[in-house]
Amino acid sequence: MADDWQDIEFGSEIDVSEIMEIIRERIAQKRKEGIYTDEAIAEITESRIMQFAEEAEIDSVLLEKLRSPDHSWNINPSYIIATHRSGVKAKVIILIKKLVRPFIRLYTDHIVGRQAQINQYFAHLIHNLVREITRHQIDNDALKAKLERLEREQEFLEQRLRTFESMTMPEDKSTDQN
Amino acid sequence: MTILFVVQRYGLDIAGGAELHCRLVAEHLAKFYPVEIATTCANDYLTWKNVYAPGTEVVNGIKVHRFAVTRQRPSDFDILAHNVLYGYPTAEQQIQYLDAHGPFCPSLIEYLKKNSQFDRYVLFSYRYWTTWHALHCVGKNAVLVPTAELDRTLHLDIYKKAFHKPMAIAYNSIEERRNINQISNNFLVPGLTVGVGLPETKTPLSDHENYDALNIPDKYFIYIGRIEEAKGCCNLITDYLAYHQNTNNPLALVLMGKQHISLPNHPGIFYLGIQPDHVKMSLLSQAEALIMPSKYESLSMVLLEAWKSSRPVVCNAHCDVLTGQCKRSGGGLYYRNTEEFIEALVLISSRPDLGVMLGQQGLAYYRKHYDWSVIIDKYHCLLEGSGDNV
């Protein structure tokens, strides 16, 4: 994906904003030319997913879990019973929570379990959709670039044709005059 | 004028940026004023476990008063923090968050109330329990050094109000000042963009054997700091692996600092652990560039260290402070995604002349803005209660 930068000349004083512009132009050009491997597409997909998450301001801990291969991000009825209080009060609260939990779980477990399945399905679906859209966009950009190249070639060939025609025209005119 | 610094942790072995910042400023101001420190007995910013003995000791010629933390951080702090930072917390819940965040140290605040012999207070890091309570106790005679990153904590009402309490504020960067001013609307509080200078480093690594023993390649990029997710290190590893895969002759990545995440076993990644300052500076001065992947920084002292060593930096563009520093200094590039990260690294590694020029621009910027004489002059102004109001 990356190549060297030997062809760029820098002045005596460097404006880093200009360099960043050149870097971004180069990346845009590469995107246009469709120079991407499967790994590069996977990277772009990942970075897009990250970008969406950052725009949505998702908690970074949850985001990290969402990116991990296991499903620890999903809702789970087996939560840890804890309290921020300390001392005897804390022990009493934890005991009460432990006593109450089995009754609550009797009613909530199946709902939570079903929701977890749905979450997992949608996460899988959305991730694959982003990857497919990325792939199609890259293919689309590559096709556009090819089309532009073909148009330029066609224009060149048409010009060439006109030149040849104009070269043959004077001869025809002279024949007519005679 | 006698000055008391209030800071969450203090000591020669404390590696945190804000704590080092505090110690350096205190040691330099001690040349002009009688300076003392009030701090906790903790040395771990996550647990606040008491490690130092309570009482008074002398550190580098400065009297340090230590007070015990009476409540360690609760085990469910992350859940509480999530609910407060990502929800709609009441004032009571925010105070509950502050108490849990810590360091919960009422004896330090009692000390401030009982000892009124100090003319000025310098309070470090806005987010800590000690700073918040000190602001409410001695705010009208205090200079606050917020060291604030642009994260959700800054938006909590209890902190927004606290930014109106100090007599003056020493900001770390133009971006930090803008963010705090806009979020808390504290435009009337005098302030100056100050930052911090760097410690005098001992002689650079002269013993070549030591350098060889580290067993790293001649050319490398370097990251220095806590190796943890919050500092952007997970993304740094991902980006570096992409760079390694997509580049001909990729350079190595050297990581230095305390490790909090697992690192892949990869031929291009070298983990050196915590190294002495002179080794750190020596390796930094020989690196192709320093990489700073963190999204949340109020200044980044390691960036200044890179520029002091005439080395360029490659920063996360999502951090407005780092991007602003790069643009103002001309000392580094900034990336928004993996592709830009790769191109920036390839550019710097393939054009050493550019690295030298960026490093020189960084050095000039460092000398102009972060020389200790410049920093201390600004503190003199702030301690006298003057600053440029926006």
pLDDT tens track for B55-99: 999 999 999 999 999 998 988 888 888 888 888 888 989 999 999
Cα–Cα distance measured from residue B248 to residue B291, given in angstroms and rounded to the nearest whole number: 20
Distances, alpha carbon A142 to alpha carbons A28, A44, A80, A149, B143, in Å: 12, 16, 51, 11, 58
Q: What is the pLDDT of residue B390?
A: 40
Query: Is the CB of residue B25 less than 8 Å from the CB of residue B143?
Result: no
Distance between A48 CA and the closest CA of chain B, angstroms: 9
pLDDT of residue B115: 86
The 10 Å CB-count burial string (b at 16+, else e) for B218-244 is eebbbbbbbbeebbbbbbbbbbbbbbb
Q: For residue A82, is pLDDT > 80?
A: no
Rounded to an integer, the average pLDDT of A30-57 is 72
Cβ atoms B105, B130 nearer than 8 A = yes
For residues B291 and B316, is the Cβ–Cβ distance under 8 A? no
Averaged over B158-173, what is the pLDDT?
A: 95
Beta carbons of A2 and B340 less than 8 Å apart: no
- Mind listing the pLDDT tens digit for each residue in B249-270? 899 999 999 898 889 999 999 9
Reduce the DSSP state of residue A37 to 3 states and report it.
coil
Collapse the DSSP code of B195 into the 3-class scheme (helix H, G, I; strand E, B; otherwise coil) and give the result.
coil
- What's the half-sphere exposure (Cβ side, CA atoms, 13 Å) at A6? 2
Q: Looking at A26-30, A48-52, B164-168, B347-351, which range is the least confident one?
A: A48-52
Q: What is the value of pTM for the model shown? A: 0.71
Residue B356 pLDDT exceeds 70: yes
The answer to whether the CB of B356 falls within 8 A of the CB of B367 is no
Token digits for B31?
Answer: 């040349």
> B76, A84: Cβ pair inside 8 Å?
yes
* pLDDT top residue among A140 and B62: B62
Confidence at residue B223, expressed as pLDDT on a 0 to 100 scale: 97
**Contacts of residue B324, Cβ cutoff 8 Å, sequence gap at least 6:** B173, B174, B175
Q: How confident is the model at residue B206 (pLDDT cuts 50, 70, 90)?
A: low
Inter-residue contact B60 to B44 (CB < 8 Å): no
Contacts of B361 in chain A (CB under 8 A): 13-14
A80 Cβ neighbours under 8 A, 6+ residues apart: B76
Torsion angle, alpha carbons of B261, B277, B370, B28, to 10: 120
Q: What pLDDT score was predicted for residue A178?
A: 42
Q: Model confidence over B279-307: pLDDT tens digits?
A: 888 899 999 999 999 998 888 899 999 99
Place of tokens 């993304």: B235
Contacts of B261 (CB under 8 A, 6+ apart): B227, B228, B229, B233, B234
Confidence at residue A1, expressed as pLDDT on a 0 to 100 scale: 47
**For the residues A23-35, what does the mean pLDDT come to?**
78
> What is the least distance, in Å, from the CA of B244 to any CA of chain A?
10
Higher pLDDT, B323 or A4: B323
Cβ within 8 Å, pair A82-B75 = yes
3-class DSSP assignment, residue B4: strand
